[in-house]
Amino acid sequence: MHFTNLNLADMKPNLISTNLSGSFYLKTELLRDPFLNGIVSAKLFHSIIDSAYLDTVNFAIQAKDHMIKIIEPSYVQVGESSVFYFAGQLDKNQMVDLRFTTEKNSIRVLTSALDLPPFQGSFDGNIFLTGKLSDPDLEGYFWIPNLSKDSFELDSMIMQINLKKLVTSRQGRGLIMASYWHYDSLEINQTITNVIFDSNRVVIDTLLFANNLNYISSTGSIEVFEDTVDIVFDFFRMNYQNTWLENEGNIYFRLAPEEYVIESAIFRESNEGIIEVIKKVAWLPDDE
């Protein structure tokens, strides 16, 4: 089946707006059990989904003996030098092994296709989903060797994440490290963020922005509830040359749909002074 300029919103108003051109192919031996043996493939060319432009999509899966496998090469090409590859399989026991990879992906091409501000740079990335389909494990790795826009420039940033039981318990760790970045006159030559995931709670084990002896260091946690987000810093220290500022007691924030709250906090500084922050409650403006 071939199609041109297909708009899903014309078929059903609550679907997103599209402009799709390509083909769809389905072959199965038994119509009553299409996942026993069969092939499904889809191709798109120069298509638009919402506001995102896709140069080429080539995706195909094969089902045989209750095993579903992605046929390689399956990929999404956003534009020249921006390609994402897919591989993996799902067995009859609902155990999944999926891999998403990209190498030397152009950030300029990607941001332009997604109608975002045009950053310059590139990145490599790998994402793995393994285990039970209903509750898989997630492992991801991204490396950005360079990134820039206007007066912002970053050199070499690594992001890693490892989560067990993504749906039910979400236990694992995450890491972000950058060797150097600057914005206007602000220069940072060491950035480390190390977090621990524990269900709806994220423990900030390490948070550090440093430039030689000048730094900001902190630890704390972020917890997500049904309609609020609680942020607590149990340690905060800012050091600049021969002076420093450090918290005494927790620093507490709460974000809600209609307000945000900053609880009272006390800071001590190197000259034996005390700075007190008075509790503040602010109502957020209504979108209407």
Q: What is the pLDDT of residue 112?
A: 87
In a domain, 262, yes or no: yes
pLDDT digits (tens, 9 = 90+) for 149-161: 999 999 999 999 9
Average pLDDT of the residues in 117-121: 90
User: How far is the C-alpha of 154 from the C-alpha of 123, rounded, in Å?
Assistant: 12
pLDDT digits (tens, 9 = 90+) for 232-253: 999 999 999 889 999 988 899 9
In a domain, 31, yes or no: no
* Domain with 89 in it: 81-283
CA atoms within 13 A of residue 208's CA, in its CB half-sphere: 17
Band (pLDDT 50/70/90 cuts) for residue 33 is low
Band (pLDDT 50/70/90 cuts) for residue 20 is very high
Helix (H) or strand (E) holding 126: strand 120-132
Average pLDDT of the residues in 29-44: 75
Q: How many domains does the chain have?
A: 1
Q: What is the pLDDT of residue 15?
A: 85
Average pLDDT of the residues in 109-120: 87
In a domain, 23, yes or no: no
Q: What is the pLDDT of residue 125?
A: 96
- Whether residue 73 has a cis bond before it, omega within 30° of 0: yes
In a domain, 135, yes or no: yes
Residue whose tokens read 């026993």: 36
In a domain, 272, yes or no: yes
Q: For the ranges 7-21, 121-135, 189-203, which has the lowest average pLDDT?
A: 7-21
Task: Specify the amino acid at residue 82.
Answer: S
CB atoms within 10 A of CB 204: 19
Mean pLDDT, rounded, of the chain:
90
* DSSP 8-state class, residue 71: P
In a domain, 48, yes or no: no
In a domain, 273, yes or no: yes
**98 close to 84: Cβ distance less than 8 angstroms:** no
Band (pLDDT 50/70/90 cuts) for residue 286 is low
Q: What is the pLDDT of residue 31?
A: 55
Most confident of 32-36, 184-188, 207-211, 265-269: 207-211
In a domain, 39, yes or no: no
Band (pLDDT 50/70/90 cuts) for residue 52 is confident
CA atoms within 13 A of residue 25's CA, in its CB half-sphere: 14
The tokens for 261 are: 């709250």
Average pLDDT of the residues in 83-106: 94
User: How far is the C-alpha of 248 from the C-alpha of 243, rounded, in Å?
Assistant: 16
Q: What is the pLDDT of residue 76?
A: 94
**Sign of the Cα pseudo-torsion (58, 41, 88, 194, in order):** positive
- Angstrom distances, CA of residue 198 to CA of 136, 173, 255: 16, 9, 20
User: How far is the C-alpha of 72 from the C-alpha of 69, rounded, in Å?
Assistant: 9
Angle at 133 between CA 69 and CA 129, to 5 degrees: 75
User: How far is the C-alpha of 184 from the C-alpha of 215, rounded, in Å?
Assistant: 18
User: How far is the C-alpha of 109 from the C-alpha of 115, rounded, in Å?
Assistant: 10
For the chain, the first-to-last Cα distance in angstroms comes to: 44
pLDDT digits (tens, 9 = 90+) for 124-149: 999 999 999 999 999 999 999 999 99
In 3D space, the residue among 99, 126, 129, 124 whose CA is nearest the CA of residue 110 turns out to be: 124
Residues above pLDDT 90, as percent of the chain: 61
Residues above pLDDT 70, as percent of the chain: 94
Phi, psi of 100 (to 5 degrees): -125, 125
